[in-house]
Amino acid sequence: MQLFNLKNKNALITGGTHGLGMAIAEGLAIAGAQLIITGTTPSKMEEAISYYTSKGYQAKGYLFDVTDEKAAAENVEKIINEVGDIHILVNNAGIIKRELAITMPVADFRKVIDVDLVGPFIMSQLVAKQMIERKEGKIINICSMMSELGRNSVSAYAAAKGGLKMLTKNLATEWAKHNIQVNGIGPGYFATSQTEPIRVDGHPFNEFIISRTPAARWGDPEDLAGTAVFLASKASDFVNGQIIYVDGGILATIGKPSNEE
DSSP 216: -
* Contact (Cβ atoms closer than 8 angstroms) between residue 68 and residue 115: no
13 φψ region: left (φ > 0), alpha (ψ -120 to 50), beta (else): beta
Amino acid at 250: I
DSSP 6: -
DSSP 237: T
- Written as one string, the DSSP assignment of 82-136 is HT----EEEE-------B-TTT--HHHHHHHHIIIIIHHHHHHHHHHHHHHHHT-
Q: Give Cα separations from 67 to 39, 82, 93, 101, 208 (angstroms).
A: 12, 22, 10, 23, 35
Q: For residue 157, indicate whether it is catalytic.
A: yes
Amino acid at 30: I
Local structure of 37: helix, strand or coil: strand
- Catalytic pick among 52, 57, 62, 157: 157
Give the contacts of 25 (CB within 8 A, at least 6 positions apart): 11, 13, 16, 35, 37, 52, 59, 90
Local structure of 180: helix, strand or coil: strand
DSSP 190: B
**Residue of 105, 94, 199 whose CA lies nearest to 146:** 94
Query: Catalytic residue positions?
Result: 157
